[in-house]
Amino acid sequence: MRVAVAGTFGPLHDGHRALLRAALELGDDGVVVALTSDELAGAERTRSVPPYDRRADDVRAEIADMDEWGRDVSVRRLADEHGIATEDPSIDALVVSPETVPEVETINDVRRERGMDPIRAVVVPYVYADDGERISSTRIVRGEIDEHGNVRK
């Protein structure tokens, strides 16, 4: 199965790691990491986001660390929200967090219109911080938690 996973991935945290691990585990025909461009990453956010090259380096380092399967991985710049998944017929599945599932139906509508096969979604459970709230980059930037979900005093 050829698998894509999309996101901003910065600052990187254990929720991202769960997504990347699922993509690697399932992507026996290859893994595409669709990493948001700085413009797309900044479009709906007020918090600061590390620059693309920094995020790409961090994702590559993380993958090198966890890829026990030796997958064929490429990191590609995602310039619009449903790009890559609606454009690349070779992708079979998209690894997502629960909140992103409805977007896969939108993506599949576009793919069907374009004569492409619809894709599967692999939904990875949320990862929670010590305080029972979800881990997120926003919470890390705010200084509430670290990348593993430990609450900062």
The site for a second copy (CB under 8 A) is made up of 1, 22, 25-26, 93, 98, 101, 104-105, 108, 118-125
Please say which residue, 38 or 67, places its beta carbon nearer to a second copy. Answer: 67
Query: What's the closest the beta carbon of residue 100 comes to a second copy, in angstroms?
Result: 11
In the chain, the N- to C-terminal Cα span, in Å, equals: 43
Query: What's the closest the beta carbon of residue 35 comes to a second copy, in angstroms?
Result: 22
Cβ neighbours of residue 152 closer than 8 Å, sequence gap 6 or more: 143, 144, 145, 146
Please say which residue, 1 or 141, places its beta carbon nearer to a second copy. Answer: 1
Residues 129, 150: Cα–Cα separation, whole Å: 6
Please say which residue, 29 or 80, places its beta carbon nearer to a second copy. Answer: 29
Query: What's the closest the beta carbon of residue 94 comes to a second copy, in angstroms?
Result: 9
